[in-house]
Amino acid sequence: MTTSDIHKVNGLTRRGFLALGGGVAAGCALTTGFEAYAASSPGLKTVEDGVITIAMSGTMPMTGFKDGSIMGSDAEMIVAIAKRLGLGVKPALMSWSATIEAIKTGRADIMCGNMSWTPKRADAVLLTDAIYYAGYFLLMKQDMPFTESIGVEDIKGHSIGTGVGYSLVSDLKKLPDIGEVKLYDKDDGAIRDVAAGRLDFAVLDAMEVDYVLLKNPDLKLKQVPLRQSESFLLLTEKGVTVMGMSLENKELFDAINAGVSWLWKSKTNAEVLSRNGMSNPDYLVAPKKNPRLGIDRDESGNILGPGAHTPKDYSNLFG
């Protein structure tokens, strides 16, 4: 695909957009730039000595690999944390469905890629504190009169589209006085229709669409976050995005989780998200209710469940 092809609305393909992350290759340890921290390395156990192996699907803008460098919002956060721990990083590319098993069987140290917290996952692996929060956004033309947020009441009378199989379809069809609800086999079809004025709104994978818009400003589209509605939680409830690690390697988890705290304090997570197209501040706003309470966290943030333990303090490595 040429650069000119990428900028043609009629040439949009999801595969083409996501492939902008470049060719992916596994097995390359990335050590450049971490040596300065090696003297303070805490000697953490990893699958490969001195290297954090990331189980990831290579789907941009969350994870990717190009020209010998790991890229993507979630993966770049791990690279930043690993540097502070005196560790290199290497990708282990696989289907998303294989990542948890790779962690559980000791073939990778950490998994990431817009990984939503769920009770089931909290039973299987140790889940870090949130690295950001991913809610649903509405895709629309830039001249639409919505900026900071949009409510379900604002969709009244408008047409809206989403992907076949999205869990929020039932909520869309229940919206009061909604216009046409269109379902698309591929996200690029919905994006084309919004750009062409054949569809008022679309609700798709927000992070992937943000990356499309970053690479294709000529589309003149924007995404605006949906305000939470208790009557339409499938459509408006925000998710907690985390990274997963083995229940058996609590020290590495504690070190990485200390790094997650540093991501917030240093605003590194915000910088990395923005660099990959996710500049909307809504990604950094927690949901009204913490779904983790009583499952794998208590009110004070202590770890509960199968991975319950008293964390070792690695905060000195992130000063």
Residue 1 has pLDDT above 70, yes or no: no
Residue 291 has pLDDT above 80, yes or no: yes
Q: How confident is the model at residue 249 (pLDDT cuts 50, 70, 90)?
A: very high
Among 15-19, 61-65, 92-96, 268-272, whose mean pLDDT is lowest?
A: 15-19
Q: Are residues 78 and 171 in the same domain?
A: no
Q: What percent of the chain has pLDDT over 90?
A: 84
CATH code where residue 195 lies = 3.40.190.10
Q: Are residues 86 and 97 in the same domain?
A: yes
Q: Are residues 259 and 165 in the same domain?
A: no
For 126-139, what is the mean pLDDT?
A: 97
Assess contact for 72 and 111: CB atoms under 8 A. no
Q: What percent of the chain has pLDDT over 70?
A: 87
Angle at 64 between CA 134 and CA 164, to 5 degrees: 50
* Alpha-carbon dihedral angle through residues 160, 150, 136, 195, given to the nearest 10 degrees: 50
Among 236, 253, 280, where does a domain finish? 236
Assess contact for 20 and 67: CB atoms under 8 A. no
Among 180, 207, 236, where does a domain finish? 236
Confidence at residue 6, expressed as pLDDT on a 0 to 100 scale: 29
pLDDT tens for each residue of 134-173: 999 999 999 999 999 999 999 999 999 999 988 899 999 9
Q: Are residues 13 and 128 in the same domain?
A: yes
Q: Structural domain tally of the chain?
A: 2
Among 208, 236, 264, where does a domain finish? 236
Residue 25 has pLDDT above 80, yes or no: no
Q: Which domain holds residue 168?
A: 136-236
Q: Are residues 128 and 141 in the same domain?
A: no
Q: Are residues 14 and 127 in the same domain?
A: yes
Dihedrals phi, psi of 58, to nearest 5 degrees? 75, 25
Confidence at residue 319, expressed as pLDDT on a 0 to 100 scale: 85
Q: Are residues 61 and 200 in the same domain?
A: no
Q: Are residues 100 and 165 in the same domain?
A: no
Biggest alpha carbon distance in the chain? Answer: 63
pTM for the predicted model, two decimal places = 0.86
pLDDT tens for each residue of 33-90: 444 444 456 789 999 999 999 999 999 999 999 988 999 999 999 999 999 999 999 9
